[in-house]
Chain A
């Protein structure tokens, strides 16, 4: 190098040493990986289970094959194995919970609880129309979900996961949401209307 800049003798060794150290480090620490706070989808999965406990289906129970309580995820699944482990071995409405991942709105009619992934935002209207009054509890975390006629929408309030309810939509599908659910909701929309 020119102009009195000092040559750097370490530059060949350091990348290697850095790599070795990093690899060793991660091998050690990776084994000990822990996660003290739940992530938002762990909490959302737990809510989904709880909705099954705090909602009563009257009359038009969705026609489900067999004697199970189907919980469905439509579109790209944001939960991953979290939802499987949350629902594993549970019963709701005296029926074993069955988790289904579906890609067509037509398959959703069989579900009791339907989580609609935000990938479906563009065809939400189509989905909700298809489900009209079929007694499926619709849940999503896409923005504007309850405004557009969805029943329960997860919202983040700071670091906390809360939910909003569109009671009119739930009632028109003849679902009865328990007062406990309404009490803890971040907001409850009572007048009918399915947004835009």
Chain B
């Protein structure tokens, strides 16, 4: 991690816990809304076969005329799916017909009273992304800006910064937030992309269920059940930034009911563009792990999974020294390693009741030029869903998390006091979904009660309303309170920078504030989803968030210090909670399955931040930084083409408006993936990223000025065998 004066802590949250979910470690939708299933089933899935479409071109326009031939060629066959033709088939023939399956996901999504977006495995595969933050660029309302090779600023509906603090991230129910700085260190959280079943993203406060980190949103990464990863997978790839990647996975069975997989992966990423040719930001990581799922086809299922990783991350950090008074930018490597193991037991207690128990242990170790930390986290969660009365669907849960850590000091000017601390959390939550009119109107009320070591008990209630006037339309609204409780950065930090030597040495110190309070959010949201036709789906969300007690700098104090010598003047600026304000905006995301060979996804996100200092001018600087670090407009257009000869073409166009506080101009760019399944078990893909410019900056964060994120190309070949 890199701490310096540009990377201020931002709204969001700190020690918290990931609540879990019956069945699928928290299919968000099931918690946020109810069990009713829906209309989206009608939404036909794009199939993988298609008629000739003779082109491989990155331009939309080129492809404009071509499909004409296509459609004609297909007309003859088209009728075979007509009801009368299907009815002429024998039962046996029917059973042998290949069909396009309808994703079970969207139906629940359709019925969720929250702004939820799901990236399926197919979406992720076809994005060509090699890391989780890159995939998140496709989600409406999510701002992703790359700082350097291994660092991203991720925000939801504003407040993106280098700590990615505004959102809670879970991987298979494991909370990957660090209480050190209340953020996500993406470079520790690389998962094997092929194993990801889906990523659920909730924009808007989710504190009622997920606790004090889920202020602006929740990102829930769910890997596949090991029964879906049988057989072998091997992939190798390389390019100019993703210099080399290799992955291996082997799945198998013990008896009838136990499936497992083991995997290993390694990658090396090269540096981005540096105008001073100081290519410090290379990144290597190796990771391995396993997952085992036992399902007795009855009421119980068990999952055990674990990972181990080790890597090195190139960094440039600004370090100050008291003696002789100086400040240097130092290039170095942050060594990271860690691992985790998780177990989960789900049991169905009958028609109307099920529970889930989950426990995990997670260890992280980091040591870089600026600081180091060892952290061991133990977490246990219990969740029970219970339909007591005909119209009541109650979910309640309990959780506890212990997270002892040791800070490792590497320079005198960066410190967290005390060095040893345990960030512990205890929580309980309950919510009730009440069917006011069955299948038409339901209300959900609930709250989380969570105790943290900094501010004691925090309450995070929600009230949600879901109305489905017809099977193809959903209207929802919600009011939610969420808090971001303090982190070690807010309360325990001592970060000292060097200013000048004359007339005497002067240092500037940002200091943690033991009286730092939780940042709060009161969010008002509404949304509308509709299946306009069986092929066109539109999702619209609106929000207005009221924030209070956001992080700012407090009043400076002056002091003289002489230990260690020499004598110096220190200007100490504590953190404070002096910023408040509103954000408002909307996201619209149409999805059009135009034809079996074409699907179009698009999204436009609008965001306005209006933040100000609460008293005097103290918070003004931070308010301006926050306002100027999130894009007002974001546009993504993403068609997916299934071409003949099993080619796939996936261009993604993006427009991101300017970030004045980061000195980043607006930009448009395009990523393109071309995939070719040239044999039954072999797939070749070539992916180009940021094709419109040789390089351009997306976000500040490293000392010494902005880096350019390069145009990059990589090729990858994957071999899979289903092991049958």
Closest Cβ neighbor of B97 among chain A residues: A43
Name which of A57-65, A158-166, A168-176 contacts chain B: A158-166
Contacts of B592 in A (CB 8 A): 26, 30
Closest Cβ neighbor of B36 among chain A residues: A119
Tell whether, in the assembled complex, residue A22 and residue B602 are in contact, meaning their CB atoms are under 8 Å apart: yes
Tell whether, in the assembled complex, residue B97 and residue A160 are in contact, meaning their CB atoms are under 8 Å apart: yes
Contacts of A42 in B (CB 8 A): 81, 83, 86, 99
Tell whether, in the assembled complex, residue B708 and residue A5 are in contact, meaning their CB atoms are under 8 Å apart: yes
Contacts of B600 in A (CB 8 A): 22, 26
Does B98 make an interface contact (CB < 8 A)? yes
Residue among A15, A41, A156 facing the most chain B CB atoms (10 A cut-off)? A15
Tell whether, in the assembled complex, residue B99 and residue A34 are in contact, meaning their CB atoms are under 8 Å apart: no
Q: A37-B99, A117-B37 are in contact. Are A29 and B692 (CB under 8 A)?
A: no
Tell whether, in the assembled complex, residue A30 and residue B594 are in contact, meaning their CB atoms are under 8 Å apart: yes
Q: A78-B41, A159-B101 are in contact. Are A37 and B49 (CB under 8 A)?
A: yes
Q: A6-B694, A15-B635, A118-B37 are in contact. Are A41 and B86 (CB under 8 A)?
A: no
* B 45-91 contacts with A by CB, 8 A: 45, 47, 49-51, 59-61, 63-65, 67-68, 70-71, 74-75, 77-78, 80-81, 83, 86-87, 89, 91
Does A187 make an interface contact (CB < 8 A)? no
Q: Mark B663-701, 1 if CB is under 8 A from A, else 0.
A: 111111000000000000000000000001111110000
Tell whether, in the assembled complex, residue A10 and residue B101 are in contact, meaning their CB atoms are under 8 Å apart: no
Does A91 make an interface contact (CB < 8 A)? no
Tell whether, in the assembled complex, residue A35 and residue B44 are in contact, meaning their CB atoms are under 8 Å apart: yes
Contacts of A19 in B (CB 8 A): 637
Tell whether, in the assembled complex, residue B81 and residue A122 are in contact, meaning their CB atoms are under 8 Å apart: no
Instruction: Give bound CA distance, A48 to B635, whole Å.
Output: 44
Does B96 make an interface contact (CB < 8 A)? yes
Does A39 make an interface contact (CB < 8 A)? yes
CB distance from B155 to the nearest CB of A (A): 21
Q: Which of A36, A78, A119 contacts B78 (CB 8 A)?
A: A36
Q: Which of A18, A25, A32 contacts B71 (CB 8 A)?
A: A32
Closest Cβ neighbor of A45 among chain B residues: B83
Q: Which of B99, B299, B602 contacts A43 (CB 8 A)?
A: B99
Total A-B pairs, Cβ < 8 A: 241
CB distance from A131 to the nearest CB of B (A): 16
Tell whether, in the assembled complex, residue B45 and residue A39 are in contact, meaning their CB atoms are under 8 Å apart: yes
Closest Cβ neighbor of A19 among chain B residues: B637
- How large, as a class, is the contact surface on chain A? 35 or more
Does B532 make an interface contact (CB < 8 A)? no
Contacts of B94 in A (CB 8 A): 43, 46-47, 50, 161
Instruction: Give bound CA distance, A156 to B275, whole Å.
Output: 55
Contacts of B653 in A (CB 8 A): 14, 18
Closest Cβ neighbor of A162 among chain B residues: B95
Closest Cβ neighbor of B668 among chain A residues: A14
CB distance from B55 to the nearest CB of A (A): 12
Tell whether, in the assembled complex, residue B352 and residue A28 are in contact, meaning their CB atoms are under 8 Å apart: no
Q: A46-B94, A76-B439, A86-B87 are in contact. Are A35 and B36 (CB under 8 A)?
A: no
CB distance from A180 to the nearest CB of B (A): 6
Q: A28-B64, A39-B44, A184-B95 are in contact. Are A18 and B535 (CB under 8 A)?
A: no
Q: A26-B600, A50-B91 are in contact. Are A34 and B63 (CB under 8 A)?
A: no
Closest Cβ neighbor of B274 among chain A residues: A3
Instruction: Give bound CA distance, A45 to B42, whole Å.
Output: 12
Does A66 make an interface contact (CB < 8 A)? no
Does B540 make an interface contact (CB < 8 A)? no
Contacts of A186 in B (CB 8 A): 95
Tell whether, in the assembled complex, residue A5 and residue B275 are in contact, meaning their CB atoms are under 8 Å apart: yes
Q: A32-B68, A119-B37 are in contact. Are A37 and B596 (CB under 8 A)?
A: yes
Does B479 make an interface contact (CB < 8 A)? no
Tell whether, in the assembled complex, residue A36 and residue B51 are in contact, meaning their CB atoms are under 8 Å apart: yes
Instruction: Give bound CA distance, A34 to B154, whole Å.
Output: 39
Closest Cβ neighbor of A124 among chain B residues: B351
* A 143-163 contacts with B by CB, 8 A: 156, 159-163
* B 625-673 contacts with A by CB, 8 A: 635, 637, 639, 653, 655, 663-668
Instruction: Give bound CA distance, A159 to B100, whole Å.
Output: 7
Closest Cβ neighbor of A18 among chain B residues: B653
Tell whether, in the assembled complex, residue A125 and residue B665 are in contact, meaning their CB atoms are under 8 Å apart: no
Does B255 make an interface contact (CB < 8 A)? no
| Interface pairs A-B: 7 shortest CB-CB | A32-B71, A78-B41, A80-B42, A4-B275, A33-B595, A14-B668, A38-B81
25 CB-based A-B contacts, threshold 8 Å:
A1-B663, A3-B706, A5-B696, A8-B668, A11-B666, A14-B692, A29-B67, A29-B598, A35-B44, A36-B51, A36-B74, A38-B80, A38-B81, A40-B100, A46-B89, A49-B87, A78-B37, A78-B102, A80-B39, A80-B41, A81-B534, A159-B98, A160-B96, A161-B99, A181-B91
List 11 other contacts, CB 8 Å, given A35-B47, A77-B39: A2-B706, A4-B275, A5-B697, A22-B639, A24-B61, A34-B595, A36-B47, A36-B50, A37-B49, A49-B87, A122-B351
